[in-house]
Amino acid sequence: MSNRKASVDADPADTPIDPPADPPRVAGSTGRGKGRQGDVRLNRDVVLRAALDLVDAEGLEALSMRRLGNRLGKDPMALYRYAENRDALLDGLTELLLDQWIVAKADDASSWQGQLREAAHDFRALVLAHRHVVPLLVTRPLSTPMGLRPLGALRPLEQILAVLSSAGFEPADALHAYRAYYGFLIGHILNELEEFVVNPDEDELGLKLGLHRLPKKDFPHLRELAPMLLNYDGEAELEQGITILLQGLEAQLRSAPTTD
């Protein structure tokens, strides 16, 4: 996988975190002389958090069982007690993230529109804080058939349905509304992340040059947009979109008590 850098020497995730100087694997003596860092018992949460850290810091490709194990000061195989698979571990990651998305806060007494609007912004903030996990968020569900997804990943769905339901949507309509809502959210996030350039200073040039590279007779409109692509305000764009969407839902709610 792109080999990253080959053996430069000290890669942040290749060494345990807590004790800075300590041979991670001594082979012979199986931690008899106090395995330090390795002594803390693992549990699912610790593993998942470490995985998320690793992904946040170095991207999805950096998350291998070996590297994760190393970071926890444990043998890679130890992880399999808490995640069965690498795939399951990835599912765990999405769960860990979605679990932090609280759609209907307890003390929130605002309108359903207000709740959905706030939830959308929360979602954006949450996800932007862990951009590297986004691919998981959109691809994992494609291979896990809904009913079999981790509970934590279904809770937001349920909560949104609850909000919509108490707003007066019939079940079927609530489902449609949910799809529109979540589809929009995901679509927006993908859009925003595509626009995102890692290093603005350097990449402003890179982007312009990139677009400059386009044959100007084949891509007139696209090239004209170059300046606009550089100051993209995701927050504003989301707000604008969600407003339109909520208006649409409102209209639908007022007009037809039942559909399909």
> Could you say which residues in the range 226-245 bind its own copies, by CB under 8 A?
228-229, 237, 240-241, 244
Q: According to DSSP H, which parts of 73-170 are helical?
A: 80-83, 86-98, 112-128, 134-139, 151-167
37: contact with its own copies by CB under 8 A: no
Q: Are 150 and 87 in contact (CB under 8 A)?
A: no
> Could you say which residues in the range 46-105 bind its own copies, by CB under 8 A?
85, 87
Q: Fill in the DSSP letter of residue 98.
A: H
22, 53, 58, 75: residue in contact with DNA (rule CB under 7 A): 75
Instruction: Report which residue type is found at 253.
Output: L
- Name the minimum Å distance from CB 33 to DNA: 9
2: contact with DNA by CB under 7 A: yes
Q: Which is nearer to DNA, 75 or 203 (CB)?
A: 75
- Name the minimum Å distance from CB 39 to DNA: 8
Cβ-Cβ contacts under 8 Å for 140 (sequence gap 6 or more): 90, 91, 94
257: contact with its own copies by CB under 8 A: no
* Count of helices and strands (H, E) across the chain: 12, 0
- Name the minimum Å distance from CB 31 to DNA: 6
Binding-site size, its own copies (CB under 8 A): 66
Whole-angstrom distance between the N-terminal and C-terminal Cα of the chain? 48
1, 106, 142, 236: residue in contact with DNA (rule CB under 7 A): 1
CA pseudo-torsion sign 182, 188, 194, 197: negative
By CB under 7 A, name the binding residues for DNA: 1-3, 6-7, 25-27, 30-32, 35, 38, 41-42, 63-67, 69, 73-78, 80-81, 85-87
